[in-house]
Amino acid sequence: MENQELYTAQDCEFMREAIRLATESVERGGGPFGAVIVKDGEVVAYGANRVTLDHDPTAHAEVSAIREACRKLDTFDLSGCTIYTSCEPCPMCLGAIYWAHIDRIFYGNNRKDAAEIGFDDDFIYEELDRPMSGRTVPIIPMLRDEALTTFRLWEEKEDKTEY
């Protein structure tokens, strides 16, 4: 269900660019995903899925675009930016978008569309709802007291850059 009152003709152009990047990615041997990050009406960064091309499971279009935008803007805080992505972000990308403080997310295909062609991220959403003891990949806490010394060091550091 589309909410056309929530986006403009310019938003459509940016989304078409994300879709174009996704199409090019498929043609180059990558996955069918593209993303564009915009600030003040100007494209700041482009990203396409490069997981198989770079042998990097984190090289999703959104993460690639975030990395480029941060380099270009010389910041880790993308407040004031909007991301246009050809598909609803997976949990990893959604987390990266939130960590980057991007203001708005527009997407084309939804996660059910992605699942229909073999990109099913629902298992990750389901894993996050399970207690740690019931997850597929074991998550085992250890050496917390030793690890806390680093957190104390951070907490006491006067000249830290908070994020």
pLDDT at 1 over 70: no
Q: Which positions are catalytic? A: 62
> Over the stretch 131-144, which tens digit does the pLDDT of each residue have?
999 999 999 999 99
Distance CA 107, CA 142 (A): 39
Angle between helices 61-73 and 9-28 (to 10 degrees): 110
Query: What global pTM score does this model have?
Result: 0.91
Please give the pLDDT value at position 75: 98
Amino acid letter, residue 56:
D
DSSP secondary structure letter of residue 4: G
> Over the stretch 37-72, which tens digit does the pLDDT of each residue have?
999 999 999 999 999 999 999 999 999 999 999 999
Other C-beta atoms lying within 10 Å of the C-beta of residue 36: 28
> Over the stretch 95-110, which tens digit does the pLDDT of each residue have?
999 999 999 999 999 9
Distance CA 134, CA 77 (A): 35
